[in-house]
Structure 1
Amino acid sequence: MSKIHFFTEGTGPAVILIHGYCEIGMMWSDFAKALSEDFQIFCPDLPGFGKSILPHGEISLEETAVVLEEWMEENAIENPIIIGHSLGGYVALALLELMGNKIKGIGLFHSTAFADDAEKKEMRNRAIQFLKKNGVEKFVTSFVPPLFSEAHREEFADAIDLAIEQARQSTLGGLIAFMAAMRDRKDRFEVLKNFQGPKLMIAGTEDGAVKIEASRQQKTAFTDYVELEGTGHMGMIEEKERTLEIVRGFCEKTSLKS
């Protein structure tokens, strides 16, 4: 058994929404409810987050993809559309490399197919040291608010509080393991470019985690590319109605393809 905890809503073509770092599957609850009118939505907790167990002290994105493929087989999830936020996008790309045309379409929500550069790797190393020294609580309360664009933080104070509360459900082992997995992940731009199915990118012009310049460099690899002006790393909250309609339209179009 894969030991992946998840919730599901609706019936119809399968759509998997994968949460990001310091998040849990329940972050997608509003999206799942809205999209469940036309699709069966699956929202897993990645190992070490929420109620899913991290099997051992380290995990790679490749191992995570294998675990999720097993979970799909256990739950008879076939030809899914997979959309991932941030870390969830990295996992979606690892699944794409593993499963190929068994995936109907892929969406990157504030994510990237590129590997970390040297500066980003060093930042992740510092984060790991901070986690080891200070633990989950101090990390998540400092990590989550800057994910939102500075201009939106006061407006979305309640949403930030909820995101912090959900982030507290991360285990220390999960946070350390996936920080290292993100640091060490390989470039999957060619995997993305060579995939013939529908591909969506949603990018924020004020995203501090995935710079808009990097998103623009990948634009030609996507069938659907959307920039959210003035939005940070949390477009599904900062621009919920718009991004929900973008995701709905992408899923509707993708599900109709043979």
Structure 2
Amino acid sequence: MLTVTVDGIPLHYQDVGQGLPVLLLHAFPLNSSAFDKQVRALSSRYRFLLPDHRGFGQSKLGEGPTDMSRIARDALALLDMLKIDSAVVGGVSMGGYAAMALLREDAGRVRGLVLVDTQATADDEAGRARRETSAQEALEQGVEPLVQTLLPKLVAAGSDSPVGRELAALMRGAAPEAVAAAQRGMALRPDSKDILARFAGPALVVVGEHDVVTPVEKAKQLAALISGARLEIIPGAGHLPNQEQPERFNEVLDRFLASIPG
């Protein structure tokens, strides 16, 4: 098993393929296997670096909230260990928050930016309260209440579809402690509009046509912050287009990555 140890915490990652390095940060409450469909289709042309965030997949948790800057620093430590100066950095949903945090930590390491079904704004007071309620519920009742409430919002095809069942299995594999720490970490994230407005590199913003969590209008607002950003709307997809409509998503991602000098 491939691991990088940060502050004494072993963190698992995948390193698959060859070519332009592409660091992808997964959504809540999944793990790096959420990108399996991208790896299968594109790893002959790109080198995918796929960490499991703290407490998810095969990574250990550590203490305190899993704030987005912590995920970003873990990812930078992985690049350092692999002696990779810069990479295309992308993230889905919570992974997008972490990608923006990485941009804030060290924009010079970001060769290109991919933001998928995410948003630049911080939680308001009501949003932070909902995250804390969800964190406490996970610790007291396990992850099943989260599966029941969140899963229907993630996929346009519905919870009983093949992709819905695939996602349910990934969600049920998450530890309650990791779920709680990530919810509390997301509640702490700052507004990222300022750092995006300063980013001068190539950027791709992707959103599922039927996303109800971070809908198309939010993606348009996000893309408008970044000079020259491409906006792609994936038909027939909800909040996780890389898993629900992988062929269309892979086509969009491949076209963007191919435009970045290796």
Give the match for residue 167 of structure 1.
171
Give the match for residue 25 of structure 2.
18
The 5 A counterparts of 1:184-203 are: 184-203=188-207
- 1:100 and 2:107 aligned: yes
> Which structure has more strand as a fraction of its residues?
2
Give the match for residue 71 of structure 2.
64
Q: 1:192 to 1:252 in 2, by over 3 A?
A: same
Please state how far the C-alpha of 1:230 moved relative to its aligned partner.
Answer: 4.7
Alignment root-mean-square deviation, CA:
1.8
Give the match for residue 146 of structure 2.
139
Instruction: Could you tell me which runs of 5 or more consecutive residues in structure 1 were left unpaired when the two chains were aligned.
Output: none
**How far apart, in 1, do the equivalents of 2:133 and 2:80 lie?**
37
- 1:240 and 2:240 aligned: no
- 1:205 and 2:209 aligned: yes
**How far apart, in 1, do the equivalents of 2:193 and 2:40 lie?**
32
**How far apart, in 2, do the equivalents of 1:216 and 1:14 lie?**
27
Residues 78-101 of structure 1, C-alpha deviations (whole Å, 9 max, x = no match): 311011000000011111111112
Question: Amino acid of the residue matched to residue 61 of structure 2?
Answer: L
Residues 8-33 of structure 1, C-alpha deviations (whole Å, 9 max, x = no match): 21111100111100111011011012
Q: Is the 8 A contact 1:205 1:229 kept in 2?
A: yes
Q: 1:60 to 1:237 in 2, by over 3 A?
A: closer
- 1:110 and 2:114 aligned: no
Residues 112-143 of structure 1, C-alpha deviations (whole Å, 9 max, x = no match): 11112334223223312321331123423442
Identity of aligned residues (%): 25
Match of 1:224 among 221, 230, 242: 230
Q: 1:166 to 1:77 in 2, by over 3 A?
A: farther
SS at structure 2 position matched to 1:218: helix
Question: Amino acid of the residue matched to residue 215 of structure 1?
Answer: A
Q: Is the 8 A contact 1:104 1:255 kept in 2?
A: no
Count of matched residue pairs = 253
Moved over 6 A (4+): none
Please state how far the C-alpha of 1:180 moved relative to its aligned partner.
Answer: 1.0
**How far apart, in 2, do the equivalents of 1:143 and 1:173 lie?**
17
Match of 2:97 among 90, 94, 104: 90
Please state how far the C-alpha of 1:54 moved relative to its aligned partner.
Answer: 0.9
Instruction: Could you tell me which runs of 5 or more consecutive residues in structure 2 were left unpaired when the two chains were aligned.
Output: none
Q: 1:7 to 1:133 in 2, by over 3 A?
A: same
Question: Amino acid of the residue matched to residue 232 of structure 2?
Answer: V
